[in-house]
């Protein structure tokens, strides 16, 4: 079995968000999938297999962190679409059957890939003192992002505040299903981005995610309303960093970015290998 590490939402190696990608004939048992994700030890590992002709989608797709399966993952979907396109395994737009419905990835002539994801609902909630203390910054706005994303979206004072956050990850875990998205307006839009964010997901074993596609299904409507534009670019200001272009369209969020395969190898532990231990 070929396994690849792909850096997503970047055009160069060792930036963006790395994901494992494994193309299978079918999904083995969940325990094996989880152990492969633990071994890869990136934010997510994507597992996909081709569906029969006439199915609702072209490929089935699942995502696992080192700790658990998740309902939605943007960067690992982008990474999977990149592998399918660059290896010639699938031509043109690809439909993925996932826990979040059918998600479509479309390769573009410029080398980027556009993901069609459901837009997250934004539900205002009262900020608690615990959130501010755990995050290390005073919230201006706090919103729940619904079950698919499962985060609190927290607007803070400015870009400098987002970049300087050093949260208490253990304390953050008590405040949402997955974690917290911290965001602020860009200090200087002339730098090529409209807003910044950082994402902390202690409940799924990820203290800070480098670049999070699913979070941008909440960030896009949040900032589009405030900035008065449907097309925006977000910078996720993690140490690896990456940019996500977003467009709101008919209740959906289009996420666009590039990807680079940095490692390709052979997985030598087939399904059932752990049972023999």
Q: What is the DSSP string of 57-100?
A: SSEEEEEE-SS-EES--HHHHHHHHHHHHHTTSS-S-EEEEETT
Neighbours of 37 (CB within 10 A): 26
Is 208 a catalytic site residue?
no
What is the maximum alpha-carbon separation in the chain? 58
Q: What is the DSSP string of 2-25?
A: EEEEEEES-SSTTSSEEEEEEEES
User: Distance (Å, rounded) from C-alpha 80 to C-alpha 71?
Assistant: 16
Find the catalytic residue in 39, 44, 109, 126.
44
User: Distance (Å, rounded) from C-alpha 202 to C-alpha 170?
Assistant: 7
User: Distance (Å, rounded) from C-alpha 258 to C-alpha 273?
Assistant: 34
The DSSP bridge pattern shows strands 179-185 and 151-155 to be parallel
Q: Are the C-beta atoms of residues 172 and 180 closer than 8 Å to each other?
A: yes
Tell me which H or E stretch contains 221.
helix 216-227
Task: Characterise 92 by phi-psi region: left (phi > 0), alpha (psi -120 to 50), beta (else).
Answer: left
- Residues forming the active site: 44
């Amino acid at each position: 079995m070929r396994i690849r590490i792909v850096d997503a939402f970047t055009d160069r190696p060792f930036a963006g968000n790395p994901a494992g990608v494994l193309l299978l004939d079918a999904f083995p048992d969940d325990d094996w999938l989880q152990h492969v994700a633990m071994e890869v030890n990136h934010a997510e590992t994507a597992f996909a297999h081709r569906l029969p002709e006439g199915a609702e989608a072209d490929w089935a797709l699942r995502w696992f962190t080192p700790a658990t399966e998740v309902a939605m993952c943007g960067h690992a979907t982008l990474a999977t679409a990149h592998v399918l396109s660059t290896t010639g395994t699938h031509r043109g737009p690809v439909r993925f059957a996932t826990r979040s419905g059918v998600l479509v990835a479309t390769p573009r002539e410029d080398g980027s890939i556009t993901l069609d994801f459901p837009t997250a609902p934004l539900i205002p909630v009262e900020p608690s003192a615990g959130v501010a203390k755990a995050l290390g910054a005073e919230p201006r706005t706090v919103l729940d992002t619904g079950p698919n994303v499962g985060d609190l979206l927290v607007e803070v004072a400015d870009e400098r505040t987002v970049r300087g956050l050093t949260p208490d990850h253990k304390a953050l875990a008590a405040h949402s299903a997955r974690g917290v998205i911290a965001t602020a307006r860009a200090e200087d839009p002339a730098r090529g981005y409209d807003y910044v964010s950082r994402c902390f997901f202690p409940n799924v074993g990820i203290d800070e995610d480098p670049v999070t596609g699913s979070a941008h299904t909440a960030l896009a409507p949040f900032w589009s309303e405030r900035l008065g534009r449907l097309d925006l670019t977000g910078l996720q200001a993690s140490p690896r960093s990456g940019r996500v272009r977003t467009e709101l369209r008919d209740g959906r969020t289009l996420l666009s970015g590039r990807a680079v395969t940095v490692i390709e190898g052979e997985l030598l532990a087939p399904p059932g290998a752990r049972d023999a231990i």
